[in-house]
Chain A
Amino acid sequence: NAGVTQTPKFQVLKTGQSMTLQCAQDMNHEYMSWYRQDPGMGLRLIHYSVGAGITDQGEVPNGYNVSRSTTEDFPLRLLSAAPSQTSVYFCASSDRVGEKLFFGSGTQLSVL
């Protein structure tokens, strides 16, 4: 099993550009989530999903969209990148909410 796979590992964007961060898991997990981590800070929840077709907002959802068309994939879309979105983004999954979370290796995003 590959676990939770995030792509790309690094990305540089210009202000106003859009892009999609990819997250895939091969463990048939129902629960998936996206976090961002600013330098020296803890993780903050952006969006989460408790199953295919179901998504919900976390603590800091503004500027991001998600969809969950399959159990395996949970992409995070930046609609119009801003310097404030410069951060490390982590995707995580678990069998159900409240169960052990498995994390991807992260995407380092810089918005200039």
Chain B
Amino acid sequence: DAKTTQPNSMESNEEEPVHLPCNHSTISGTDYIHWYRQLPSQGPEYVIHGLTSNVNNRMASLAIAEDRKSSTLILHRATLRDAAVYYCIRPNNNDMRFGAGTRLTVKP
């Protein structure tokens, strides 16, 4: 039980913004929300994580709902290299479980 819900797949056009949603309705007040991505034939890589307020880094932005029951990963301008599986994760007691993630396809 990964305790997060994501759409199986999404499509985007190149150079357009992408909003990847995640529901985590049972999250506790101290659990961080993490996003990782996995490019084809590679291991997972960290994207971003946050607790309450919105977070930005060079890869993406993370918008966290005020009630913390959902969040959205924002890629501001998708490129072909952003095509990957994106995983939204929250700690599960003492472990970090990945679900199936969202497969993002970027069309030229």
- A residues with CB within 8 A of B: 33, 35, 41-45, 48, 50, 56, 58-59, 90, 92, 94, 97-106
Q: With A101-B46, A106-B43 known to touch, is A43 a contact of B98 (CB < 8 Å)?
A: yes
**A90 with B95: CB separation less than 8 A:** no
Q: How far is the CA of A93 from the CA of B26 in the complex (A)?
A: 25
- B residues with CB within 8 A of A: 31-32, 34, 36, 43-46, 49, 85, 87, 91, 94-101
Q: How far is the CA of A105 from the CA of B46 in the complex (A)?
A: 13
Among B32, B97, B100, chain A packs the most CB atoms within 10 A around the CB of B97
**B45 with A59: CB separation less than 8 A:** no
**B44 with A48: CB separation less than 8 A:** no
Which residues of B sit under 8 angstroms from A56, Cβ to Cβ? 94-95
Q: With A42-B85, A43-B44, A90-B44 known to touch, is A97 a contact of B100 (CB < 8 Å)?
A: no
**A33 with B95: CB separation less than 8 A:** yes
Q: With A42-B87, A105-B43, A106-B43 known to touch, is A100 a contact of B49 (CB < 8 Å)?
A: yes
Q: With A42-B100, A97-B96 known to touch, is A90 a contact of B91 (CB < 8 Å)?
A: no
Among B32, B96, B99, chain A packs the most CB atoms within 10 A around the CB of B96
